[in-house]
């Protein structure tokens, strides 16, 4: 097969999310003899034309001077134009929909019989509270338009799958992200962040409202844990919500913002040696950072929503308010004794069975063959 991955920020992965997915799946498929092309913005630091058997097409993107929100539309348009005019792909895999819609409309892809378009619908983007109501309305229109134009849809979470079935009566293929289970945790790496094993709670996220960081912080501050353990927040603090959180909670008992950690060995070690891990994401599908926390043997406290329950099932403690966080933390030692080992082992088994990259390469290859069979 000849397959294109469009709308990522390029490989090798420097970001996470779709880029991590694109690297693992594209390299895996290329190793099996398929011709795979990943479209990459011209400013990506990797400048070669191939990467581990994958062909890279470097496309000019104005995001560096125009900004990501607007520049992404031009980059996606140029990528799709190249894919349609200069290549002969069997399948075009579109990573997300929020900046491809104008190109879908312009090229009228719903009428194109070949190549086959399949779109990963990511999360419920219009519900992200960082957007004002007009942007939310626009993104909701984009969602409906993508459902109308794309030949096939991919959902990375069964909650997303069920949403598209109920909302649009449209089937989607459930294909999740993956994670690796590591054994190279290094306790010495904690010193850089002033941490001691099992003496801190951890939250890793983009500092955005829909990730419910303030809910977890407030629950921690109202608990009896503030003089026993630290609450460590990992994530860039330069977002508007990040600046708000830092301004409001810096100096509060036990609260510490450490910024982003981009060395995966360091981040995985910080995860592994945490006492418990907060996952507050609420509008996405299967979040890569959640899978990484599961793979890092974290004891997880998760925001209660259909996406997190679809992944964690009964192997986490759930909360829906700051009061629920406080209640959990005030009984955390009893819960830890009865649940910790069971939750961690079950989540590791879930990673091995459902979210290993090798199994996901298998599933994507089978899905792409199935797509081709529908056109015969």
SS (H, E, C) 306-372: HHHHHHHCCCCEEECCHHHHHHHHHCHHHHHHHHHHHHHHHHHHHHHHHCCHHHHHHHHHHHHHHHH
pLDDT computed for residue 186 by the predictor: 96
pLDDT in tens, 274-318: 999 999 998 776 788 899 999 999 999 999 998 899 899 999 999
Distance CA 21, CA 180 (A): 12
Top CATH class, 2-178+357-374: alpha beta
| pLDDT tens digits along 347-359 | 999 999 888 888 8
Fold of 187-355: Rossmann fold (3.40.50)
Whether 2-178+357-374 and 187-355 share one fold: the answer is yes
CA distance 212 to 351: 25
Give pLDDT, residue 70. Answer: 74
Task: Parse the chain into domains and list their residue ranges.
Answer: 2-178+357-374, 187-355
d(Cα 299, Cα 296) in Å, to the nearest integer?
A: 9
Residue pLDDT, tens place only, 210-221: 899 999 999 999
């Amino acid at each position: 097969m000849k397959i294109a991955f469009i709308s990522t920020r390029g490989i090798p992965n420097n970001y996470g999310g779709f880029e991590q997915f694109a690297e693992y799946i594209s390299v895996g498929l290329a190793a099996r003899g398929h011709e795979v092309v990943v479209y990459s913005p011209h400013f990506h630091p990797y400048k070669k034309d191939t990467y581990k058997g994958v062909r890279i097409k470097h496309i000019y993107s104005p995001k560096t001077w125009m900004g990501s929100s607007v520049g992404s539309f031009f980059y996606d348009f140029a990528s799709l134009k190249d894919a349609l005019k200069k290549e002969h792909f069997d399948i075009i895999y579109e990573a997300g929909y929020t900046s491809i819609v104008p190109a879908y409309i312009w090229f009228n892809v719903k009428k194109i019989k070949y190549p086959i378009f399949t779109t990963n619908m990511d999360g419920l983007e219009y519900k992200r509270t960082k957007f004002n109501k007009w942007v939310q309305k626009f993104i909701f229109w984009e969602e409906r338009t993508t459902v109308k134009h794309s030949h096939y849809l991919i959902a990375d979470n069964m909650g997303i799958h069920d949403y598209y079935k109920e909302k649009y009566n449209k089937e989607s293929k459930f294909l999740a992200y993956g994670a690796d289970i590591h054994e190279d945790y290094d306790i010495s790496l904690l010193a850089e962040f002033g941490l001691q094993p099992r003496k801190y709670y951890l939250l890793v996220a983009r500092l955005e409202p829909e990730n419910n960081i303030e809910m977890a912080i407030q629950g921690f501050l109202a608990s009896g844990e503030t003089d026993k353990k630290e609450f460590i927040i990992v994530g860039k603090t330069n977002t508007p919500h990040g600046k708000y959180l830092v301004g409001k909670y810096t100096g509060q008992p036990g609260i510490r913002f450490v910024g982003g950690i981009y060395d995966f060995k360091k981040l995985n070690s910080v995860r592994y040696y945490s006492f418990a891990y907060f996952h507050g994401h609420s509008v996405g599908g299967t979040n890569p950072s959640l899978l990484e926390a599961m793979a890092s043997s974290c004891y997880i406290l998760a925001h209660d929503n259909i996406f997190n329950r679809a992944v964690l099932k009964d192997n986490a403690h759930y909360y829906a308010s700051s009061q629920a966080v406080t209640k959990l933390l005030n009984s955390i030692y009893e819960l830890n004794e009865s649940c910790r080992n069971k939750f961690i082992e079950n989540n590791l088994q879930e990673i091995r069975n459902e979210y290993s990259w090798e199994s996901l390469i298998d599933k994507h290859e089978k899905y792409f063959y199935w797509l081709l069979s529908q056109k015969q």
